[in-house]
Amino acid sequence: MNCAIFAIGNEILEGSITDTNSTYLAKHLTDLGFKIVEIKALPDNKEILVDNFTYALKNYDLTITTGGLGPTFDDLTAETVALAANREFIFYEDVYKSIENKLAVRGVKIKESHKHQAYLPKDAILFQNDKGTAVGFCVENSGSLIISLPGIPYEMKHMFENYVVPFLKNRFDLKPIYKKDLKFIGIPESDVDEAIINTEKSDDTEVIINTSKGMIIVRIRSYNYEKLMAFAEKLKDKLNKFYFGEDDDTLESVILKKLIAKNITISTAESCTGGLIAKKLTDIPGSSKSFLGSIVSYSNDAKNNILNVSKETLEKFGAVSEECCKEMLTGCKKIFNSDIVIATTGIAGPDGGTKDKPVGTVFVGINMKDKVFIKKYLFNGDREAIRERTANIAFRNLLELLSE
């Protein structure tokens, strides 16, 4: 079953927003058993939209579009799908009534332009929108389907999960593909490549390698579950020393799982990461079982008053120093009394660098079982990259300590 995904909106083509809807749809459609052959961003342009929908109806089993269903003049999806599918473009009285009701509840004054969202291709299958006013719809032309969904991510996801997935399962005879991602750290990509090439695999097993933030992800895909798992196990054995997790695992989720299993608590004292490490840990459901809290000490006063970093240390060595990092660990340990403490202090930039301590200078400290491990780093990249790498290296160092 071949499937295309179109994200509609000039804002994507000019780079003003990142299209995350297509990622979401690609993942879930792949899991359902569709083969995604095209992901494309299309502009708010009548001719280009009609051309692409016409092509899609001739070539794909299924096309899913997001965006262009709003009430404004630049929303063209319904009209252009009707044109491509040779359907009349008509006013749905029921759809309009439901829009009127939703707007009344929100206290929005009904305007002539609101009628726009009630014009849809004739004889379309409709998908209700529980989170907004734009209804979704499906039209079919000689076996090929176009399904159009709203562009606002939470409206789209809710509609897709609740109405589109059941519809697709009912409509198509799908054969799911099995997936297994293995994640490694501390090993070069070329070594993983070599291990894969030298591991026996069946012809119907596909393997690709990705690198991301110092990790290597090996993605294995097959219609045969046993063969998939056999290959995965063989590769895991070969590279066991560097393996840390699979599928949706992240460094922080693997750490939290270990901590919760062993009843170990953790807290953080953050300067340059400014709450990022706490945010990453608390992104994970259930993190409160192990994560006690964080002191984000962004000023020297806060380091001194809250974490009890001595004024002498701040004056003599500065806030970005091994000494300060050490005292932050001690102060944080005292406050939360957690088994493990992570502390970060550094210069994320773009300003604040000096000759001795250029932008990117970061100290990452861990206190575990009253042993202190502090390392100094000099990271490349912009503010965001430096903060992100600081958080990742802290997790990586902690994972190593936990594995010892």
Q: Write out the binding residues for a copy of itself, residues 274-303 only, by CB under 8 A.
A: 274-279, 281-283, 285-288, 291-299, 301-302
Tokens 């290296």: give the residue: 393
* Minimum CB distance to a copy of itself, residue 86 (Å): 25
Measured from the CB atom, is 127 or 291 closer to a copy of itself? 291
* Minimum CB distance to a copy of itself, residue 368 (Å): 19
Number of residues located near a copy of itself, criterion CB under 8 A = 106
User: What are the strands of the beta sheet with 361-368, ordered from one edge?
Assistant: 266-270, 340-346, 361-368, 371-378
Spatial CB neighbours of 263, under 8 Å, sequence gap ≥ 6 = none
Q: Write out the binding residues for a copy of itself, residues 19-78 only, by CB under 8 A.
A: 19-20, 22-30, 36-41, 43-44, 70-74
* Minimum CB distance to a copy of itself, residue 182 (Å): 13
C-alpha to C-alpha distance for 117 and 268, rounded to whole angstroms: 49
* Minimum CB distance to a copy of itself, residue 317 (Å): 18
* Minimum CB distance to a copy of itself, residue 294 (Å): 4
Measured from the CB atom, is 211 or 224 closer to a copy of itself? 211
Spatial CB neighbours of 395, under 8 Å, sequence gap ≥ 6 = 251, 252, 255, 277, 280
Beta bridge partners of 5: 39, 64
Strands 215-222 and 178-185: antiparallel
Please identify which residue in 1, 102, 125, 131 interacts with a copy of itself, judged by CB under 8 A: 131
Residue type, 390: T
Please identify which residue in 104, 108, 261, 378 interacts with a copy of itself, judged by CB under 8 A: 108
Binding mask 235-264 for a copy of itself (x = CB under 8 A): ------------------------------
Short-list 127, 161, 139, CA closest to 63: 139
Tokens 């001690």: give the residue: 330
C-alpha to C-alpha distance for 28 and 32, rounded to whole angstroms: 6
* Minimum CB distance to a copy of itself, residue 381 (Å): 5
Q: Write out the binding residues for a copy of itself, residues 139-178 only, by CB under 8 A.
A: 152, 154
Torsion-angle region of 28 (φ positive above 0: left; ψ -120 to 50: alpha; else: beta): alpha
Measured from the CB atom, is 139 or 345 closer to a copy of itself? 345
Strands 340-346 and 266-270: parallel
Token pair of 63, please? 């096309």
Q: Write out the binding residues for a copy of itself, residues 317-376 only, by CB under 8 A.
A: 335-336, 348-351
Measured from the CB atom, is 133 or 139 closer to a copy of itself? 133
Please identify which residue in 188, 224, 225, 261 interacts with a copy of itself, judged by CB under 8 A: 188
Please identify which residue in 17, 104, 261, 378 interacts with a copy of itself, judged by CB under 8 A: 17
Residue 178 near residue 224, CB atoms below 8 Å: yes
* Minimum CB distance to a copy of itself, residue 252 (Å): 12
Please identify which residue in 165, 209, 254, 401 interacts with a copy of itself, judged by CB under 8 A: 209
Dihedral, 9, 12, 15, 19 alpha carbons, nearest 10: 150
Residue type, 281: L
